[in-house]
Amino acid sequence: MHGEYKVAGGKLVAVDVDVVDGLLHGVVVSGDFFLEPDDALPVLGAALEGLPADAPPARLAQAVTDGLTTAERAGTIAGPVAMVGFDARAVALAVRRALGHSTAWSDHTFELIDPGPLPPAVHAALDQVLTEELAAGRRGPTLRFWEWVEPAVIIGSFQSVRNEVDLEAAQRYGITLVRRISGGGAMFMEAGNCITFSLVVPVSLVDGMTFEESYTFLNQWVLGALADVGVQAFVTGLNDIASPAGKLAGSAQKRMVGGAVLHHVTMSYDIDADKMLQVLRIGREKLSDKGTTSANKRVDPVRSQTQLPREAVIDAFVAHFRSRYRLVDGALRDDELARAHDLAATKFSDPSWTLRVP
C-alpha cells in the first residue's frame, strides 16, 4: 500500500508498506524532504516495523522519534539527525493514508447544497442532520452556504444566554435566538449581513490532527478564496480568520460519533456593528486578548475590502473550492429536509435546548 502526506508549507512524505498478520511490514519512507545524515533514512521505516496496523498517529510518530534517538545514541548513524520540511508526525500520517485510515481532499467528492432561504433554526438543524447522515454512511461530504431572511443570533452550544445576549434588545429588533450544536461564539445574523457556510467532512480528513490543527487545515481554502477577491487573510487564534484591517470571521466545529466533522464559518460582510453591540453582550474580558476595547473595531466587513456584492463573493468562494477539490452540484433529500424541519420545531426552537445554559 502507498500513502502520501504533504506538509503544509513543507515537503512531501511517501510511505510504501505491507500488512502481515495485522502488523506493519516492509515499511519504506521516501519523499522530497531533506534529512541528515543520509543513513538515517532506513531508520524511519525500520522504526515502524511490527507496529499494529491500527496504531494511532501519535504512537506511529513516537516510534519514529524513538527509533531516530536510539540510532543516534547508539552511533549506528553518522551524526545528529536533522529533519527539514517534515517531521515524525508527517511520516505517521503518510502511513495512515497508506492504510486508508487517513484521507486527503483528493480522496473525496464534495456535494454543493443550496436549498435556498430557510429559517435560521432549520439551518442549525441541517447542520445536525447532514453531519449525522455522513456519520451513518448515507451521504458524502457537503458544502452548504446559508441563506435566510429572519434575523437571528446563533449562539454556541455551551454559551450562557444571559451572558451573551441582551434579550430585550433582541426582542426589540425582532431577532430570534437559536442555539447550535457546535461550540464557539455567538453569530449575529441579518439577511445579507454575513456569509455563513457549513462544511461536513469525514473525520479521516483530519486524522491525527489536534482540534487546533484541524481548524487551520479546514480554513486554508477560505484564505485562498479571500485572496481571489482581493483580501489578504490569515488564521489567528484558535478559530478566527483576520486581515490586517481586523477580524473577518470565526469558525466552529462539532465531531459526531461515527466519524463526521461539522466545520462552519461565519464571515462579516456588512454587519451593523452598532446594532450587534446592542444585542450581543461582548465584554472586555473577551476582547482583552484581541488588542482592542471596542467590539465594532474588531469587525472589518468583506464588503468594505472588496466592494463586491455578497452574491459575487459567495460565487468566488464556490469557484475557488471547485478549482481545488472535486465539487458537484447536489440537493437535499426530501427526508433530510423533513427531519431538519422537525428538529427545528422540536429541538432548535424548544426553550429546553435554547436555554439549556440560561
197-224, pLDDT tens digit by residue?
Answer: 999 999 999 998 888 889 999 999 999 9
Core vs surface per residue 204-242: b (16+ CB within 10 A) or e: bbbbbbeeeebbbbbbebbbebbeebebebebeeebbbb
| Model pLDDT, residue 295 | 52
329 shares its domain with 345 = yes
The answer on pLDDT for 88 being more than 90 is yes
pTM for the predicted model, two decimal places? 0.88
Q: Whole-angstrom distance between the N-terminal and C-terminal Cα of the chain?
A: 52
CB 47 within 8 A of CB 64: yes
| Model pLDDT, residue 351 | 97
What does pLDDT average to over the chain?
93
Strands (E), 47-193: 82-84, 109-113, 142-145, 152-155, 176-179, 187-189
Residue-range definition of the domain harbouring residue 70: 2-98
The answer on pLDDT for 291 being more than 50 is no
Q: CATH number, domain at 216? A: 3.30.930.10
DSSP, collapsed to helix, strand or coil, labels residue 221 as: helix
The answer on pLDDT for 297 being more than 50 is no
| Model pLDDT, residue 286 | 54
User: What is the average pLDDT across 87-103?
Assistant: 95
Beta 187-189 vs 152-155: how paired, if at all? antiparallel
The model's confidence at residue 336, banded by pLDDT at 50, 70 and 90, is very high
Largest Cα separation within the chain, whole Å, is: 75
Beta 152-155 vs 176-179: how paired, if at all? parallel
166-197 tens-digit pLDDT:
999 999 999 999 999 999 999 999 999 999 99
The answer on pLDDT for 237 being more than 60 is yes
Strands (E), the chain: 2-6, 12-20, 23-31, 34-36, 82-84, 109-113, 142-145, 152-155, 176-179, 187-189, 194-202, 234-236, 240-243, 246-256, 260-268, 326-330
| Model pLDDT, residue 299 | 54
The model's confidence at residue 142, banded by pLDDT at 50, 70 and 90, is very high
C-alpha span between 279 and 273 (Å, rounded)? 10
**Percent of the chain predicted with pLDDT > 70:** 95
18 shares its domain with 167 = no
82 shares its domain with 64 = yes
251 shares its domain with 320 = yes
| Model pLDDT, residue 285 | 45
9 shares its domain with 31 = yes
303-332 tens-digit pLDDT:
989 999 999 999 999 999 999 999 999 999
| Model pLDDT, residue 308 | 95
User: What is the average pLDDT across 243-270?
Assistant: 93
Q: CATH number, domain at 81? A: 3.30.390.50
46 shares its domain with 71 = yes
The answer on pLDDT for 349 being more than 60 is yes
Last residue of a domain, one of 41, 71, 98: 98
298, with CB counted inside 10 A (0-12, 13-18, 19+), is: buried
The residue type found at 187 is M
The answer on pLDDT for 225 being more than 80 is yes
User: What is the average pLDDT across 103-119?
Assistant: 96
250 shares its domain with 213 = yes
C-alpha span between 95 and 97 (Å, rounded)? 5
| Model pLDDT, residue 301 | 79
Q: Angle at CA 219, nearest 5°, toward 8 and 152? A: 170
| Model pLDDT, residue 118 | 97
Number of domains into which the chain is organized:
2
Query: By C-alpha distance, which of 26, 27, 43 is closest to 35?
Result: 43
